[in-house]
Structure 1
Amino acid sequence: MAVSTAPTSSSGGAATRSRKPWISSFWLKIIMAVTGVIFAAFVLVHMIGNLKVYQGAEAFDSYAHWLREVLYPLLPHEGVLWALRIVLSVSLVAHVWAAVVLSARARKARGPVRRRGLPLRSFAARTMLVTGIVLLAFVIFHILDLTIGAQPAASDSFEAGSAYANLVASFQRPWVAVFYILAMVVLALHVSHGLWTATHDLGATGKRLRAIALAISGIVAIVIMIGNISIPFAVLIGVVK
């Protein structure tokens, strides 16, 4: 007499289907999109503030001091600055975590197959994880250099509170200036593709809207890159000293 194995198979299939990830790829993409927009907005505003270095030491140091006094005494000294740091730190952890999980899922779904011969325009997309790692390393170095003043990242003359002098002393080291410039090129690639992808992940699927988003993401990335690169270059040639 034949014995049916259908119930066992069905049970196994049900068990397989029940093993779903605790967070879907959809929400991981949303997390990456939102945190990516937060970072892009911060980098743009940060770049605009840094351009005050062209107004001289007094203007730049006053700007750095103002950042610590925003809404004081309503909020504690450096209250807004620390709130911003917390938001950025949480966003950074969430962004990196979501990127790693999505990348692992993509590799698992793709298997051993590797696509070749992709067009040049997809270069930024294919290197998002790599550029992200480079930017993470840059952020760590940047904090050690100009925020904490930890050696050997910071210059020998680092002095807490002397924002202008610390920046100039740091970029007077050619290797730091070159590293910063290269990091800004990497940042432009990451931001341009990241913002464009974020508009799609956040629901902007219309053809015209996506075209506008593509243009804006490119413009924002280029503006950030040129603005930031101009500073170490100006220090190296002696315009800012």
Structure 2
Amino acid sequence: MTVKNPDREAIRHGKISTEPLRDKPAVPSWALKLGMAVTGLIFCAFVVVHMVGNLKLYLPAHEDAHGVVRPALDIYGEFFRTVGEPMFPRTSLLWILRIVLLACLIIHIYGAFALHGRSRRSRGKFSRSNLMGGMNSFATRTMLVTGVVLLLFIIFHLMDLTIGAQPAASDVFEHGEVYANVVASFSRWPVAIFYIFAMLMLFLHLTHGIWLAASDLGITGKRTRQVILFLAYLVPAIVVIGNIILPLSVAVGWVS
């Protein structure tokens, strides 16, 4: 290792320098890794719950709390807007959830780019690749790329089905009409294809992310890590398959 020390005379006489090799970062790497692990697991839990909720698209319409027959997906969406009433104002808990997820997203993105930058500076011109081989190596190399794709997808998805902003949203978007908005959105083939592509990126990102989170949280038991490796493929596969079925069902006309 080359020691960057301006005191060449001290180096020549074999004196040990007390100067650090690099400036101490404001946030240590272990804290960034821990933050990414915790926020990543929160996102994993969220996408699982979100996928289960989306599958209500296939349930038959039934009466809501006011006796009005509505699609099950609309009733599910209304539940999130009214949960906590009358103790809490309408949509208050929903906004708390959104703020928590936004904070997790900021921590996750900052940690990803900070650690990537530190890794590049520490490695310099030397690089090692294909240490694990196969899918693990590919997922490792593409974590930043898949993360950026997922960030773009999140922005588009919010504009499309939450905010209803043009040109992302369909022309017939209407707040509260979740079922109709989903059908109108996925009836557009470019949107359906982008959604499916994003879900494939989610599989790669989640698979390697769950494994990294287990390592960063200090899980070292051999049997436990074997279970986690199994779950690291099973859970993302279930989520991705469950989510891909939605746009396909609408795009080919199975749901209308």
Q: When the two structures are superposed, what TM-score results if normalisation uses the length of structure 2?
A: 0.88
- Per-residue CA deviation, residues 16-49 of structure 1 (Å, 9 max, x unaligned), is 3583112211111000000000000000000000
For 1:100, which of 92, 105, 113 is the aligned residue?
Answer: 113
> Does residue 162 of structure 1 match 2:166?
no
2:14 and 2:106 mapped to 1: Cα distance?
40
Letter in 2 for 1:81: L
Q: 1:74 to 1:62 in 2, by over 3 A?
A: same
Between the two structures, name the one with larger relative contact order (CA 8 Å, sep ≥ 6): 1
1:198 and 1:94 mapped to 2: Cα distance?
14
Contact 2:10-2:17 within 8 A present in 1 as well: no
1:126 corresponds to which residue? 141
2:4 corresponds to which residue? none
CA RMSD of aligned residues (A): 2.1
In the alignment, structure 1 segments of 5+ residues that lack a partner are: none
Q: Return the offset for 1:6.
A: 3.8
1:91 corresponds to which residue? 104
For 1:171, which of 183, 186, 205 is the aligned residue?
Answer: 186
| Residue aligned with 1:115, SS | coil
Aligned length: 238
1:212 and 1:193 mapped to 2: Cα distance?
14
Farther-moved stretch of structure 1 (131-140 vs 65-74)? 65-74
1:115 corresponds to which residue? 128
% identical aligned pairs: 51
Q: When the two structures are superposed, what TM-score results if normalisation uses the length of structure 1?
A: 0.93
2:217 and 2:115 mapped to 1: Cα distance?
16
For 1:34, which of 32, 38, 47 is the aligned residue?
Answer: 38
1:216 corresponds to which residue? 231
1:39 and 1:113 mapped to 2: Cα distance?
33
Matches within 5 A, 1:37-52: 37-52=41-56
For 1:76, which of 89, 94, 104 is the aligned residue?
Answer: 89
Structure with the higher fraction of residues in helix conformation: 1
> Does residue 60 of structure 1 match 2:73?
yes
Q: 1:206 to 1:166 in 2, by over 3 A?
A: same
1:79 and 1:138 mapped to 2: Cα distance?
25
Letter in 2 for 1:35: T
- Per-residue CA deviation, residues 73-104 of structure 1 (Å, 9 max, x unaligned), is 11110111101100000000000000000000
In the alignment, structure 2 segments of 5+ residues that lack a partner are: 1-7, 62-70
